[in-house]
């Protein structure tokens, strides 16, 4: 039996259900999972090998993989294996006496850390109500969601973002739900499963076994009836009366669990192509240039663009075609390159952000995004600009938002992004 160590912020119903039904044990795996208090603690443990896998936020992955100014001070080669959930009802809860968002003027609001994607989503929610960070309210860092829930209950902050069973418990205690993140940032990806590139490359069979057991648990949970209600009550720490709310959230297409696409094989990581079993030449036309690439026919187009052709604007986000960070144009149509097999685009015209514009001759959309300061971390921007480049002029705001429905900005900069696109298309 191989033991896998997992660090998480909030207890996972998927882990609990997989354990209860012996899904990991069938693959010879035993799971040791423990809560973490902060992302630096989580990624430090992942970096030194104390954890094999982590349940974390995608902005943490981006920060620790690409930023040297992260809280560890070093880059960690961490890769997303799959999307997990859309926030599970992530909402802003106020303490007793706070009845509406406007009551938070001059108050203290708790976040995990001030510069997380999680926090930026909060700022966007408050901005829609006219509250500006640093002017209308103060921010305090209090770490993980369970710790902030305790702080809210004890009156050490006036509001914070909670999700899952913590929302149910807060509302049951009479606290007011001031707004859901999914109302202002949509689509929203809250949790991903991740590991280091070295661990993924070294343990491909274990990764496949774990991924298969995880997917079986997701499928089982979404299809289950009342028989799993006691398990849900235990994981989310809610009374039986709160389980129907938890069940609705888990099934919600915007906020709930992220099932893999039918027939889609979950791949082990986003930074490598895998071991080529039957490589063969595939002819590609990218940004007007012809290329012959030796690879497995089912290799995702994204891996070939980044690893073989050195075109790194398109990013690996979820691996499921759900977040849009990997978007490129195929015969003029926005396409998720992370789950598009390379054989399917042979002979077609592929265009990446590099083919739209560069520093010397930026595309009008790139100039508009700079003028509007529409970027936060920038991870999603290539996919968004590529998608926006196909839009007709004269669209109203609702039509632009609808066109970007398949592109996730984890930092919550959607309003600025929409303004930049509309300014460019005026």
Each residue's pLDDT, cut to its tens digit, for the chain (426 residues) gives 899 999 999 899 999 999 999 999 998 999 999 999 888 899 999 999 999 999 999 989 988 998 878 778 888 999 999 999 999 999 999 999 999 999 999 999 999 888 887 898 999 999 999 999 989 999 999 988 889 999 999 999 999 999 999 999 999 999 999 999 988 887 788 999 999 999 999 998 899 889 889 988 998 998 888 999 999 999 999 999 999 999 999 998 889 998 764 333 334 334 444 334 445 688 999 999 999 998 877 788 999 999 999 999 999 988 777 899 999 999 999 999 988 888 889 889 999 999 998 888 999 999 999 999 998 889 999 999 999 999 988 889 999 999 998 899 988 888 999 999 999 877
At 288 the pLDDT is 94
**Is the domain 270-426 a CATH 3.10.20.30 member?**
yes
At 144 the pLDDT is 85
Q: What is the rounded CA–CA span in Å between residue 380 and residue 324?
A: 7
At 271 the pLDDT is 40
Q: What is the rounded CA–CA span in Å between residue 13 and residue 33?
A: 12
Burial class (CB in 10 A: 0-12, 13-18, 19+), 189: buried
Cβ atoms of 86 and 318 within 8 Å: the answer is: no
Angle between helices 414-425 and 117-127 in degrees, nearest 10: 70
φ, ψ (nearest 5 deg) of residue 306:
-80, -50
- For the question of whether the overall pTM of this predicted structure is more than 0.95, the answer is no
At 134 the pLDDT is 87
Question: Could you give the maximum distance between any two Cα atoms of the chain, in Å?
Answer: 66
Domain coordinates of the chain in residue numbers?
Answer: 2-86+189-251, 91-183, 270-426
Asked if 2-86+189-251 and 91-183 have one fold, the answer is yes
Euclidean distance between the first and the last CA atom of the chain, given in angstroms as a whole number: 62
Q: Strand order of the sheet with strand 108-111?
A: 138-141, 108-111, 159-162, 91-94, 177-180
**Is the domain 2-86+189-251 a CATH 3.40.190.10 member?**
yes
Cβ atoms of 293 and 125 within 8 Å: the answer is: no
Among 285, 323, 247, 252, smallest CA distance to 82 is for: 323
Among 60, 393, 36, smallest CA distance to 195 is for: 60
**Is the domain 91-183 a CATH 3.40.190.10 member?**
yes
At 376 the pLDDT is 86
């Amino acid at each position: 039996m191989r033991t896998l160590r997992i660090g998480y912020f909030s207890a996972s119903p998927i882990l609990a259900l997989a354990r209860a039904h012996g899904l990991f044990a069938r693959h010879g795996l035993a799971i040791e999972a423990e809560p973490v208090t902060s992302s630096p603690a989580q990624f430090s443990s992942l970096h030194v090998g104390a954890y094999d896998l982590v349940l974390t936020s995608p902005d943490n992955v981006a920060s620790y993989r690409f930023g040297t100014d992260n809280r560890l001070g070093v880059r960690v080669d961490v890769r997303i294996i799959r999307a997990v959930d859309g926030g599970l009802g992530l909402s802003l809860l106020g303490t007793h006496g706070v009845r509406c968002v406007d009551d938070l003027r001059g108050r203290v609001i708790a976040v995990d850390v001030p510069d997380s994607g999680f926090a930026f989503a909060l700022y966007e929610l408050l901005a829609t109500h006219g509250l500006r960070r640093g002017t209308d309210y103060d921010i305090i860092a209090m770490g993980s969601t369970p710790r902030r829930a305790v702080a809210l209950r004890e009156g050490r902050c006036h509001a914070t973002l909670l999700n899952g069973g913590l929302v149910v418990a807060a509302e049951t205690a009479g606290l007011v739900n001031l707004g859901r993140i999914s109302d202002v940032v949509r689509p929203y990806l809250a949790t991903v499963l991740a590991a280091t590139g070295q661990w993924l490359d070294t343990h491909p069979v274990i990764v496949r076994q774990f991924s298969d057991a995880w997917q079986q648990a997701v499928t089982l949970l979404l299809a289950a009836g009342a028989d799993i209600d006691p398990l849900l009550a235990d994981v989310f720490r809610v009374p039986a009366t709160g389980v129907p709310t938890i069940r609705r959230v888990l099934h919600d297409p915007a906020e709930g669990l992220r099932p893999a696409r039918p027939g889609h094989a979950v791949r082990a990581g986003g930074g490598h192509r895998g071991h080529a079993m039957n490589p063969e030449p595939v002819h590609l036309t990218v940004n007007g240039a012809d290329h012959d690439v030796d690879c497995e026919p089912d290799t995702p187009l994204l891996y070939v663009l980044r690893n073989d052709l050195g075109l790194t604007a398109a990013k690996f986000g979820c691996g499921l075609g759900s977040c849009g960070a990997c978007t490129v144009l195929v015969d003029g149509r926005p396409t998720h390159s992370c789950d598009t097999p390379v054989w399917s685009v042979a002979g077609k015209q592929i265009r990446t952000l590099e083919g739209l514009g560069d520093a010397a001759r930026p595309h009008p959309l790139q100039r508009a995004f700079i003028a509007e300061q529409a970027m936060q971390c920038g991870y999603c921007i290539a996919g968004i600009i590529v998608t926006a480049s196909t839009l007709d002029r004269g669209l109203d705001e609702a039509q632009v938002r609808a066109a970007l429905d398949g592109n996730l900005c984890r930092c919550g900069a959607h309003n600025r992004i929409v303004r930049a696109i509309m300014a460019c298309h005026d």
